[in-house]
Amino acid sequence: MLETLKATSPKENPLLDYHNYDELTELLTQYSRMYPHISSMFTLGRSVAGRELWGLRITDNPTQREAAEPEFIYLGNMHGDETVGREMLVNLIVHLLTSYGNVTDITQLIDTTDIYIVPSINPDGFERGRRANDNGFDLNRNFPDRFQDPNNDPAGRQPETQAVMYFWDSHNFVLSANLHGGAVCVNYPYDDFSTPTQCGRAISYAPDHDLYVDLSLTYSRLNEPMYNSNEFDQGITNGAEWYCISGSMQDWSYVWYSTLHVTIELSNVKYPAASQLGMLLWLFLGQEQGHHFFLLLVAGFWEDNRDAMIAYLKRAHLGLRGRVSDATTGEALKAHVEVKPVGKEASALVAVRTDNVTGDYFRVLLPGTYTVTATVPSKAPQTKTVQVPEAKAAVLDFAF
């Protein structure tokens, strides 16, 4: 197996070095071929220079759209010179695939989750060692913005931004994160204010503020350098309280698609030495074609982030889930599902939509009591009350 992987890197272990575009393409191709039963390779689209925005889908039936499985996505390297996230996502892909069938919680996670991992959405910037794409645009300022650019239209935006937008529109992502560098923290919405004088001075509250804090702590608590930060309390920050930006991916996906999305900053140094990344060592058990082996961890960024990345991914399963269907035929219905905490003055949280194919919906929530309203076009809304437990998801179906 190592002989196969040597093609992707001049070093003995390909995870010891940064993967350029060709190496990343080869590595993802190799792994999708070795694990076709739980993975499939895809592309979001192409960059300015024509490079594919490669990703890997990891789930137990990678050619199907299954019911009762939340969709999750990690994206990295939006800024071409912020490289640690790119390699952490490569490591995560390898870790998930090689642990399947050997590690119980990873096997269960893959069997019950539709996972998408895109190591680089700015391959041109990475190849040139610069922040912007090949047209000189900062992609994390190029998405629709609720104040400055409130039009969810890909037209006129950068090719990489358009690719992400079209992909998002064809899926129903419950939870997501994009990985950056230049600091060490988890940054959560909102990233802006309607009044710029508040930037860097106050929290820009999202309806899901309390949940966002909890999600961010899910990650930072398991990343020791992040949680013990001298700059960010417990390693987390509200975006606008840190500094404001317009057109961020996390705000866009939350405002227009109700995807709970954070930005994870992994390294104060944007392009640290590859020796600091951490790596995976291979110990084989049995025949090569069976792909049976253990993974041993060597200290570095991977050690800091591995458990945090898995824990954050698992949060897609906590809260509320259900299905909206036709009471007579059982067919899936398109619906919006809105939740509101009971006994609080807070207004309703951001509504989620059902999956167009399966009729399922997923809503990550904190434990508590909520009223839930499902709305289907041309039908009277239905409202129910549900108790959301701490360690699993409540199930609440609607039939119209």
Residue found by looking up tokens 């996906």 in the block: 253
Distance of CA 194 to the CA centre of its chain: 27
The CA distance from 95 to 78, in Å, is 22
Residue 334 tokens read as 């398109």
- 126-159 core/surface letters (b: 16 or more CB in 10 A; e: else): bbeeebbbbeebbbbbbbbbbeebeeeebeebbb
Do you find a cis peptide bond into 190, omega within 30 degrees of 0? yes
Partners of 152 in the beta sheet? none
H/E stretch holding 25: helix 21-34
H/E stretch holding 398: strand 398-399
Q: Which amino acid is at 396?
A: L
Q: Which amino acid is at 19?
A: H
CA atoms within 13 A on the CB side of 65: 10
> Residues 310, 249, 189, 395: is their CA dihedral positive or negative?
negative
The CA distance from 291 to 36, in Å, is 12
Residue 295 tokens read as 């993974």
Reduced to 3 states (helix: H, G, I; strand: E, B; else coil), residue 87 is helix
Q: What is 275-342 written as a DSSP string?
A: GGS-EEEEEE-S-GGGT-EEEEEESSHHHHHHHHHHHHHHGGGSEEEEEEE-TTT--B---EEEEEET
**Where in the sequence numbering do the catalytic residues fall?**
265
Neighbours of 346 (CB within 10 A): 12
Phi/psi zone of residue 126: left (φ > 0), alpha (ψ -120 to 50 degrees), beta?
Answer: alpha
Residue 219 tokens read as 């990650």
